[in-house]
Structures are given as C-alpha cells and as structure tokens.
Amino acid sequence: MNKVKTISMIAGVVLLMTQAFPNTAEAKKKEKMKQQEEHYTFELSDKVTREKVTFKNRYGITLTGDLYLPKNRGEEKLAAIAVSGPYGAVKEQSSGLYANELAQRGFAVVAFDPSFTGESGGEPRNVASPDINTEDFSAAIDFLGIQTFVDREKVGIMGICGFGGMGLNATAADKRVKAIAVASMYDMSRVTAKGYFDSMTAEQRDGMLKQLGEQRWKDAEAGAPAYGTAGLPEPEQLTGEEPEFVQGYVNYYKTERGFHPRSINSNGSWTATNALSFMNMPLLTYINEITPRPILIIAGENAHSRYFSEDAYKAANEPKELMIIPGAVHTDLYDKVDVIPFDKLEKFFKENLK
C-alpha cells in the first residue's frame, strides 16, 4: 500500500470516529449543564410527589412551578400554600425546600419561579417588579383554587426573603388568602429606595434616580436592556472582611449548598435599571389591612434583615406574631431544616387554614 492511500485511509477512519463519537468534552459539558439545570438543592421526601405545572398571571405571563402533594392525602380536600423566594432565587432552591417540608405535613404546595426568572416567562429576563411579582402570588392562588383536590377556602402564602414583602403585599389586596407566614423577610422597596437601615441620603437617592434615567437612554439607544455586574463574588474571592450577610449569600448561592444555574444570585445579574420601580412604590403601605387574617413573621436573632421583620410586625394589626430564632442569621432560614421552625409553620397554617 502506498503512502497516499495509507494517509487517506487514516483520514477516513478519523472522520468515521468523529461522526460516531462526537466531541466527548463538549458532550460531557452539555450533560453536566443539563444535570445542573435539573438539580434541586434538597432531596425530595419519599412522602411527597412533585409535578411541574404552569399557570398564567393576569398580565399573560406564564409562570412555572412545582406542585408538591402528600402521597397519603386521601379523599379530603387539602389546605394549600403558595410559596416563593428568596429574591433572585428559583424554585429548585429554598422555596422548593419549604414546599417539600410543608407537603409532608399535609398541605398542597406550589413553589414557583416569579415572572422574568427561572423557568417562568416574561421579557426581558432577570427583572423584578413590585406590582407584577405581587401579582405572581395571586396567580398561584388562582392555580391552587381551581385544583379539584384543594379547598379554595383554605389557601395561604409562605414568602421568603424579598418575596416575604411581596407576599404581604399580595395578602393585603387578595382577600382569598387566609393566612401568611414570612421568613427572613425583606422589604425590597424600602431597601432599594432608602438603602440598608435607611442610610441613603436625599442626595444619594437623587443621584441614583438620575443614573437610572441615563441608563434608560442607553437601553433605548441599544434596543435592549443592559445588565449589571454579578452581585456576589466567587467564594475564593472572599477576604473575610465582607459583611456577614454577603458571606452568607456567597456560601449559599455560590457553593454546592445552594447553587443553581438558573438562579440570578448564583449565576447571573439583574438588569441595570431593575431598581427603578421599587424606588417609589412602597410594598407594605397597606399591611394593616391584612387583619383579621393572621400573620406569622420569622426572623433570625442575628440576621442583618431583622429590622424589616420587626418594623413589619409593628405596622401590622392583630392577629400577628413575631418569632425570633435564637442565634440564626438571614440565610439560616433558607435551607437549614433544623433551624427553620417547620413545626410552628405547620401549627400556624393548620390552625388558620380551616
């Protein structure tokens, strides 16, 4: 066999092998990404079923959620709970964990991705709205109330972090909600408009609004929104001098403990103008109108966000309860099942969804 024929044969074999065995590294990368996207940060209870569901809010945005049901539910209609949060998270993280635990205790629970995030619809991506995200909770109540196995007179809300504030706002307006509990609650309109501990000066607020206005011109010229830089550093970038809550967020969202590729806090950033609508639309204006429906507010003793919970408690009318978890920080109430007071939550919802 001459040299030319040998080279041709080798080339042919290589071509056949390439066709038969695609780029292994690329295939592994795609498979890993698929596994990450399907990953949940907690184990599904063997006492619970989980089913992916979709429903629309009144703006026509399709929301995607996971419906958790107790396996031994019997024939009696169930009390139901809509759960979402934290702000910038997805249903495969903290809200799903809460849903999994509450379903074990006899509730029908839907954990959903808010509009513009996760697997839910809405364009542009990674934007939040005090109005639309409040509406998302009511859309979840719509969904639960039309299920044949749910007693629509027994529906409640569980809000975590920034979606605690959204949930309180939804409950104030939506009289179908019979009880609400929140954990590590953030008032996103307050922290955006006034800064942490209301430290933003009038001059800083004015400057921020001017900057947001200028960014709108840039977005209009570009025909698409710009995105901010990722809000959290990587774990190896931490120096130990960051505020405790920044370290807590990194240790949750950026590590195996809580990472999910669809989570904005894990793997993305908000639009550069995301803050705008929160600047002058206070979420908790009508919190006093939740009465006579009960409110349970849960916060960590050492949480940087504790003041949001304490002030919301003061502003609300009875019946209300503020539960402070000794020694806990903000992110402990995201996923630490030995810290989150699930027995208390079970009792609260069973007593008030009846």
Three-state SS at 150: strand
In tens, the pLDDT along 139-191 reads 999 999 999 999 999 999 999 999 999 999 999 999 999 999 999 999 999 99
Confidence band, pLDDT 50/70/90 cuts, at residue 230: confident
CA angle (271, 275, 277) in 5-degree steps? 110
Tell me how far apart the alpha carbons of residues 253 and 264 are, in angstroms, rounded to a whole number. Answer: 9
More confident residue, 191 or 6: 191
Strand order in the sheet with 177-183: 48-56, 62-70, 108-112, 78-84, 150-160, 177-183, 295-300, 320-325
Closest to 110 (Cα-Cα) out of 55, 163, 36, 179: 55
At a CB cut-off of 8 Å and minimum separation 6, what does 245 contact? 303, 304, 305, 329, 330, 331
Highest mean pLDDT among 226-230, 233-237, 288-292: 288-292
pTM over cut 0.95 = no
Asked if residues 266 and 254 have their Cβ atoms less than 8 Å apart, the reply is yes
Tell me how far apart the alpha carbons of residues 94 and 336 are, in angstroms, rounded to a whole number. Answer: 10
Asked if residues 305 and 118 have their Cβ atoms less than 8 Å apart, the reply is no
High-pLDDT (> 90) share of the chain, %: 87
